[in-house]
Amino acid sequence: MSIGTKSLKKQNHELSNIDKQLQVLHNGVADQNLESFSSKLKASNLFPLTTTGLDVFQINMGKMCNQVCSHCHVDAGPDRKEIMTKETLQQCLDAIKKSGINTVDLTGGAPEMNPHFRWFVEEAYKLGCKTIVRCNLTIIVANKKYFDLPEFYKENEVEIVSSLPHYSSKKTDSQRGDGVFDRSIRALKMLNEVGYGMEGSGLTLNLVYNPSGAFLPPAQAGLEKQFKRQLKKDFEIEFNSLFAITNIPISRYLDYLVASENFEGYMEKLVNAYNPIAAKGVMCRNTISVGWDGYLYDCDFNQMLELKVAVGNKDLQHVKDFNSIALLERKIIVNEHCYGCTAGAGSSCGGEIT
């Protein structure tokens, strides 16, 4: 993969248009005479897809990021200015309080670049929530104002989930940008130093693997052993679990697939790898995702495709009118990109599903 320095949006790329993305996705399945995702779900008795609970409150704090990874489904980067306001963050806290959800999952962009990030994490901690931060690692060493993030995470008992596509620099940098691997290693050492990933510390540091190209992830358990062995041997780094995640064919990853002429083959691969057991456990069934502007989605991917939650009343689509009952009763919006969640062992923000 090659790394650009601008988001698709900044480039005025045709795939920054959501309708265009949906059309490409549709054609990728229909033109190859592959079965649509909804019809696969029907055959598995899972259509329409319903919720099983409201356990995870995922907030996309903004699209701004210090990196411009080539596979990014958010199309994040330094040129993206969409950031969640304090008012919306307060509405999130109110919704969390009201609904009793106690797992808060913060993502972005780089969530730490939101100026209200630390305030929010502290407030969520006071509410007794378990907070997960999807930290891209390099942010910790990007500027001295972030150097104390490991301490801050520790004080608020935050669980860290960080991407490291490979234990070799070549593969990591080809996906995330030149020098990202070395900076990620520095950040991992800083996290280890305060206790993250170390046995008995109670501070969780999980890593995320996702393929650097048009192929599916390896089985998680074996890969975790390999990562543990290599990172320990080469850098004395420790971590808790490895999540193997499938790349979802939207946004910049979709652009990569189309530009490298891998799109059709990848869609075919995903469709052929459809696993009904994984489909039963997809993360949208117990997660709610909040966009930077406060709108609600079934997951972060639907958020990027601007597919707002299907609740009858439009007001209920916004976090300020968070209504657990209406959300629990909703039907989840599915489309062909969902095949990314159901291939093989399945894929979610917590890795394999099955």
Partner 1 sequence: MKTYYNPDDLKKFGKIGEFQKEMADKFFGYYGEVFKEGALTEREKSLIALAVSHAIQCPYCIDSYSVDSLEKGCNEEEMMEAVHVAAAVRGGATLVHGVQMMNKVKEVSM
Number of residues that bind partner 1 (CB under 8 A): 14
DSSP E strand stretches across the chain: 56-60, 103-107, 130-134, 159-163, 205-209, 242-244, 287-290, 296-297
Contact by Cβ (8 Å): 307, 37: no
Q: How far is the CB of 134 from partner 1 (least distance, A)?
A: 22
Contact by Cβ (8 Å): 289, 309: no
Q: How far is the CB of 127 from ligand SF4 (least distance, A)?
A: 25
Phi, psi (rounded to 5 degrees) for 105:
-120, 115
Q: Residues 212 to 251: which contact partner 1 by CB under 8 A?
A: 213, 215-219, 222-223, 226
Question: How far apart, in whole angstroms, are the C-alpha atoms of residue 263 and residue 255?
Answer: 9
171, interface contact from partner 1, ligand SF4, none, CB < 5-8 Å by kind:
partner 1
CA geometry: angle at 110 spanning 176 and 61, to 5°? 140
Question: How far apart, in whole angstroms, are the C-alpha atoms of residue 184 and residue 234?
Answer: 14
Nearest residue to 95 (alpha-carbon basis) of 284, 329, 294: 294
270, interface contact from ligand SF4, partner 1, none, CB < 5-8 Å by kind:
none
Contact between 11 and partner 1 per CB under 8 A:
no
Contact between 74 and ligand SF4 per CB under 6 A:
yes
Given the complex with ligand SF4, which of 123 and 141 has the nearer CB atom? 141
Question: How far apart, in whole angstroms, are the C-alpha atoms of residue 52 and residue 167?
Answer: 36
276, interface contact from ligand SF4, partner 1, none, CB < 5-8 Å by kind:
none
69, interface contact from ligand SF4, partner 1, none, CB < 5-8 Å by kind:
ligand SF4
Residue tagged 């170390």 (tokens): 198
Find the helix or strand (DSSP H, E) in which 305 lies. Answer: none
Contact by Cβ (8 Å): 27, 262: no
Contact between 345 and ligand SF4 per CB under 6 A:
no
Q: How far is the CB of 251 from partner 1 (least distance, A)?
A: 22
For residue 354, with 0-12 CB atoms within 10 Å meaning exposed, 13-18 middle and 19 or more buried, which class applies? exposed
Site string for ligand SF4, 97-126 (x = CB under 6 A): -----------xxx----------------
17, interface contact from ligand SF4, partner 1, none, CB < 5-8 Å by kind:
none
Given the complex with partner 1, which of 157 and 268 has the nearer CB atom? 268
Contact between 171 and partner 1 per CB under 8 A:
yes
Nearest residue to 349 (alpha-carbon basis) of 250, 254, 243, 209: 243
Contact between 69 and ligand SF4 per CB under 6 A:
yes
Given the complex with partner 1, which of 219 and 325 has the nearer CB atom? 219
Q: Residues 148 to 187: which contact ligand SF4 by CB under 6 A?
A: none
Site string for ligand SF4, 273-312 (x = CB under 6 A): ---------xxx-------------xx-xx----------
Given the complex with partner 1, which of 32 and 50 has the nearer CB atom? 32
145, interface contact from ligand SF4, partner 1, none, CB < 5-8 Å by kind:
none
